[in-house]
Amino acid sequence: MEKRVALELRGRNPSQVKELNLDNCRSTNIVGLTDEYINLENLSLNNVGLTTLKGFPKLPKLRKLELSDNRISNGLNFLNGCKKLTHLNLSGNKIKDLDTLKPLEDFEHLKNLDLFNNEVTSIDEYRSKVFALHPSLKYLDGFDKQDREAEDSDAEEEDELNGDNESEEDDVEEEEEDDEDVSLSAVYNDNLEEESSASSLYDGSDAEEDDEDVDDEEVENDREGNQNSKVQDGEENADGEPEESTRGKKRKHEDDDEN
């Protein structure tokens, strides 16, 4: 098994491996698998010849474990480091009673359990007892509590993963929408401030133009008033009668001398 594990690694770091197939490699116990496989999600150990699960590594992200056609009769407690396990295939092993299955009570996410071709399947009310022992269980030996056949496990697992990804994408979209709302709000406020500033400048300009027009009118009125005043002073005497100009008086005096 150890050589097979090294071969399947293909030069990768164990932490980079998400799926590992060790089917048909011969070993009676776990060898070569370590806690370094922290991101391993799918592990297949079908027809290996395992008689014990002692030494099974802690795999925090393991979801699917295939252990069919081995010689396992007990020791399921050694799987306790795989709390996210959802699919467990133990078909074709040596499990004889329900007590052997009790360690699986700790697997809160276990949905699909296969015990086909184990002696435990022959006990009275086997199915109802196993479902009662594991409340999270949805399918047992390929059928649910109402004896309806299970959906394709790969498709179901893909849906679950897609569901997780969609949740993450929704969170990202919500964050982006919040950021966009903030940005739009900022732009809107900036536009309002610019419009307000422009309006203030425009109003001030009008006010200045109006003041200039008023000043021009006053100057013009003053000019007209002065001109009128001068005309009136030159054309009327103190009695209000027209007064002759100085040039007119001189001309008249010359005429009188000639006469």
More confident residue, 256 or 55: 55
This prediction's pTM: 0.61
- Identify the band that residue 115 occupies on the pLDDT scale cut at 50, 70 and 90: very high
Tens of pLDDT, residue by residue over 45-95, are 999 999 999 999 999 999 999 999 999 999 999 999 999 999 999 999 999
* Residues across the chain: 259
- % of the chain beyond a pLDDT of 90: 54
Mean pLDDT of 10-18: 93
Whether the per-residue pLDDT at 215 is higher than 60: the answer is: no
Tens of pLDDT, residue by residue over 227-237, are 544 434 444 44
What's residue 150's pLDDT? 84
More confident residue, 224 or 2: 2
CATH fold of the domain at 2-150: 3.80.10
> What residue has token string 């399918």?
139
Whether the per-residue pLDDT at 213 is higher than 80: the answer is: no
- Report the 3 state secondary structure along the chain: CHHHHHHHHCCCCHHHCCEEECCCCCCCCCCCCCCCCCCCCEEECCCCCCCCCCCCCCCCCCCEEECCCCCCCCCHHHHCCCCCCCEEECCCCCCCCHHHHHHHHHCCCCCEEECCCCHHHHCCCHHHHHHHHCCCCCEECCECCCCCECCCHHHHHHHHHHHHHHHHHHHHHHHHHHHHHHHHHHHHHHHHHHHHHHHHHHHHHHHHHHHHHHHHHHHHHHHHHHHHHHHHHHHECCCCCECCCHHHHHHHHHHHHHC
Tens of pLDDT, residue by residue over 141-193, are 999 999 999 876 544 555 555 555 555 555 545 555 555 554 555 545 555 56
Domain residue ranges in the chain: 2-150, 172-252
Integer Cα distance of 254 and 246 in angstroms: 13
